[in-house]
Chains A and B, each alone.
Chain A
Amino acid sequence: MSTLAVTLETRSPARVLVSAVPIAVALLIVPFVLDQYQTILLAYGLVMAIAALGFNLLLGYTGLLSFGHSAYFGVGAYAVALMVKYLGTTSMELFLLGAILSTVIVTALFGFVCVRYTRIFFSILTLALSQVLWSLAFKFFWVTGGTDGLRVPTPMLVGVVSPKGDKIEFLSHGYYWYVLVIFFACVALMWVIVNSPFGKALQAIRDNEVRAEFIGVQIWRFRLVAFMISGIFTGIAGALWVPLNGLTTPEVLYWQFSGEIVFMTVLGGFRSFAGPIIGAVVFNYLKTFAVGFTVYWQLLLGVVLVVLVLSLPTGIVGSASRLWGRWRKSA
């Protein structure tokens, strides 16, 4: 009885680190290898990856499709812009703090309304609420700048790295590394969350809500917490995005952007942890390429994405790991 046949093989943190470290090193040296434009482009990709990572806590792990994650990205972005406008803040850390606090409040309110529902009802509610925020940003132009948006100057990092001189130089070096560090922190934190007892409980809710309730998981509360964590990650992404972009407009609150977050995640594969990260980076390149290639970029992007999703139904990461498995078997 005590000598059990079950070996508890674990994906230990050490083993994960072995595969993560080379990637981390490669990302760290990017500013020395790639040109400034490419580095900044990658920074955009990493920011989107944080947003998609947060989004996927709901879709992949809790089984809730939010169609309103632009709201939390936008709240993060506008929190920064409004801090600049009304408080004259320049510190990036304060920006992040402000963005986190704002998304905590907004996700708590929105989550309270949304998590009582599932499936299409949940999706529609999140969509509707995000559109409310969009229209507020759109209409209250004396606060939000309306369609002109709000400008955000390059911030000061950790109180010392001040953005004097060349802005492009700053964004492609100091700011890139700053984004990268936050990206690493977010990935590590999310990895722990999805592998925690709490994360397991979310997956239980995803797989079988009724049974989850009958082992004593308080579904409603767990969904709310997942909703908030998800939104906060996306809000952090929004805050990191504004200095890169230089300004924020109501576009980041619009439903189309919510759709992009969904697409990134599905493209990469929402059944795997790395899926949304890969998907966001790839999507960012695809979109940039399409925009540069033709004025009908949305059409081109749409076609490319339809083909990708049809040919890789489990996403890039899902398909890659299947190929890898097949290759290992045959070898």
Chain B
Amino acid sequence: MSVLLQTRKLVKYFGETHAVDDVDFVVNESEVLALIGSNGAGKTTLVNLISGLFRPDGGQIIFRGEDVTHQSVHERIRAGIARSFQLVNLFDQLTTLDNVALSIFAREGKTRKLLVLAEADRRVWQEAAQILHLFGLEAKARMLAGGISQGERKLLDVAVAYALRPKLLFLDEPTSGVSTREKAPIMDTITSVVRSEHISAAIIEHDMDVVFNYSDRIVAMHQGVILADGSPDEIRRNEAVQTNLLGVTEAPR
């Protein structure tokens, strides 16, 4: 497996807090990786740094052999880094189909076109409809994104990121805020899509069932540093992880 993304001594401070402290983090090609850790461990900050929402205070981010540390969000998306959000971020007054289509228009550089009707671009709408189908949302195509259930919104949030056709997809708690019953179907949908397209996915997750069931590799963070990195079995047996993380959350089965 070759390396897709790596960070070198990545640092982010918030005042006195070392939110991300000298982190060397690696994502390989075509893997589903889980990023775990208690609240404040630095998981979301790490994703925010890699996706370009925050600027790091030090260190480097290398994506496909290229230094993207100082690239804009726009450039990183072009390079192939996309993300979803923990608190769903959608275009609520547009339809679910519009939400996905916008990603496609943006990906193809067509959002600059202002003298043609968006409706006229059949290929984009067909692709958008296909993506909704992949995520099981085709029945909701004509509904406003603000008017569908929380579970559907979580999926749509991922679908919007997926429509950018990324090589690396960060998913920030894709199952938070949905009922336990909905978690497995959501994760099944997401992982089947990313695995079939050989997209690398890095998933921040608190639910240990989800983490151990769906990931190839697990990276555990604690207070801004990486505590452990390994296969689900290795992580399950790791003592530092057990005392710092699994002890405070529910124990894995």
For the complex, what is the distance from the CA of A1 to the CA of B117, rounded to whole Å? Answer: 26
Q: How far is the CB of B71 from chain A (nearest CB, A)?
A: 12
Q: In the complex the two chains form, is A204's CB within 8 Å of B89's CB?
A: no
For the complex, what is the distance from the CA of A206 to the CA of B145, rounded to whole Å? Answer: 14
Q: Which of B3-11, B23-31, B76-84, B229-237 contacts A (4 or more CB under 8 A)?
A: B76-84
Given A207-B90, A214-B89: A197 touches B77 (CB 8 Å cut-off):
no
Q: In the complex the two chains form, is A207's CB within 8 Å of B118's CB?
A: no
A-contact bits for B35-72, CB 8 A (1 contact / 0 none): 00000000000000001010000000000000000000
8 Å CB contact of A207 from B93, B105, B133: B93
Q: In the complex the two chains form, is A215's CB within 8 Å of B160's CB?
A: yes
For the complex, what is the distance from the CA of A248 to the CA of B233, rounded to whole Å? Answer: 79
Asked if A238 is at the interface of the complex by the 8 Å CB criterion, the answer is no
Residues of chain B whose beta carbon lies under 8 Å from any beta carbon of chain A: 51, 53, 73-74, 77-78, 82-83, 85, 89-94, 97-98, 101-103, 105-107, 110-119, 121-122, 125-126, 129-130, 132-133, 138-139, 141-142, 160-161, 163-164
Asked if A321 is at the interface of the complex by the 8 Å CB criterion, the answer is no
For the complex, what is the distance from the CA of A13 to the CA of B160, rounded to whole Å? Answer: 28
For the complex, what is the distance from the CA of A1 to the CA of B193, rounded to whole Å? Answer: 14
Q: Which of A3-11, A40-48, A291-299 contacts B (4 or more CB under 8 A)?
A: A3-11
Residues of chain A whose beta carbon lies under 8 Å from any beta carbon of chain B: 1, 4-6, 8-13, 192-193, 195-201, 203-204, 206-208, 210-218, 222, 225, 229
Top 10 A-B pairs, shortest CB-CB distance: A198-B114, A207-B91, A211-B89, A201-B111, A6-B129, A216-B77, A216-B106, A197-B105, A10-B119, A6-B141
Q: In the complex the two chains form, is A211's CB within 8 Å of B73's CB?
A: no
Q: In the complex the two chains form, is B112's CB within 8 Å of A216's CB?
A: no
Q: In the complex the two chains form, is A217's CB within 8 Å of B111's CB?
A: yes
Q: In the complex the two chains form, is A199's CB within 8 Å of B164's CB?
A: no
For the complex, what is the distance from the CA of A203 to the CA of B114, rounded to whole Å? Answer: 13
8 Å CB contact of A203 from B83, B89, B94, B139: B94
Task: Enumerate chain B residues within 8 angstroms of A213, measured Cβ to Cβ.
Answer: 73-74
8 Å CB contact of A211 from B90, B116, B141: B90
Q: How far is the CB of A227 from chain B (nearest CB, A)?
A: 13
8 Å CB contact of A193 from B112, B114, B125, B139: B114
Task: Enumerate chain A residues within 8 angstroms of B164, measured Cβ to Cβ.
Answer: 215-216
**Residue picked from B83, B98, B114, B142, most chain A C-beta under 10 Å:** B114
8 Å CB contact of B113 from A198, A203, A222, A229: A198
A-B pairs under 8 A by CB, number: 127
For the complex, what is the distance from the CA of A199 to the CA of B160, rounded to whole Å? Answer: 18
Given A10-B119, A197-B113, A216-B77: A4 touches B130 (CB 8 Å cut-off):
yes
Q: In the complex the two chains form, is A216's CB within 8 Å of B107's CB?
A: yes
Q: In the complex the two chains form, is A215's CB within 8 Å of B106's CB?
A: yes
Given A214-B83, A216-B74: A197 touches B121 (CB 8 Å cut-off):
yes
For the complex, what is the distance from the CA of A10 to the CA of B53, rounded to whole Å? Answer: 36
8 Å CB contact of A208 from B73, B91, B119: B91
Q: How far is the CB of B143 from chain A (nearest CB, A)?
A: 12
- 13 A-B contacts (beta carbon < 8 Å): A6-B97, A192-B114, A193-B114, A196-B114, A198-B111, A198-B114, A200-B94, A203-B94, A206-B93, A210-B85, A214-B53, A215-B160, A225-B114
For the complex, what is the distance from the CA of A199 to the CA of B101, rounded to whole Å? Answer: 13
Q: In the complex the two chains form, is B117's CB within 8 Å of A200's CB?
A: no
For the complex, what is the distance from the CA of A203 to the CA of B133, rounded to whole Å? Answer: 24
**Residue picked from B89, B98, B110, most chain A C-beta under 10 Å:** B89
Q: In the complex the two chains form, is A214's CB within 8 Å of B77's CB?
A: yes
Given A204-B102, A214-B51: A196 touches B117 (CB 8 Å cut-off):
yes
Task: Enumerate chain A residues within 8 angstroms of B51, measured Cβ to Cβ.
Answer: 214
A197-B113, A198-B113, A213-B74 are known contacts; what are 17 more A-B pairs with Cβ within 8 Å?
A: A6-B132, A6-B141, A6-B142, A8-B122, A11-B119, A196-B117, A197-B112, A197-B114, A198-B112, A200-B102, A200-B111, A200-B118, A201-B102, A207-B94, A212-B91, A215-B160, A215-B161
Q: In the complex the two chains form, is B77's CB within 8 Å of A4's CB?
A: no
Task: Enumerate chain A residues within 8 angstroms of B73, measured Cβ to Cβ.
Answer: 213-214, 216
Task: Enumerate chain A residues within 8 angstroms of B142, measured Cβ to Cβ.
Answer: 6, 9
Task: Enumerate chain A residues within 8 angstroms of B110, measured Cβ to Cβ.
Answer: 197
Q: Which residue of A has the minimal Cβ distance to B164?
A: A215
Task: Enumerate chain A residues within 8 angstroms of B94, measured Cβ to Cβ.
Answer: 200, 203-204, 207
Task: Enumerate chain B residues within 8 angstroms of A207, measured Cβ to Cβ.
Answer: 90-94
Given A4-B129, A203-B91, A216-B78: A196 touches B106 (CB 8 Å cut-off):
no
8 Å CB contact of A197 from B53, B78, B111, B122: B111
Q: In the complex the two chains form, is A201's CB within 8 Å of B160's CB?
A: no
Q: In the complex the two chains form, is B125's CB within 8 Å of A200's CB?
A: no
Task: Enumerate chain A residues within 8 angstroms of B117, measured Cβ to Cβ.
Answer: 13, 192, 195-196
**Residue picked from A197, A200, A210, most chain B C-beta under 10 Å:** A197
Q: Which residue of B has the minimal Cβ distance to A12?
A: B119
Q: How far is the CB of B155 from chain A (nearest CB, A)?
A: 15
For the complex, what is the distance from the CA of A192 to the CA of B119, rounded to whole Å? Answer: 10
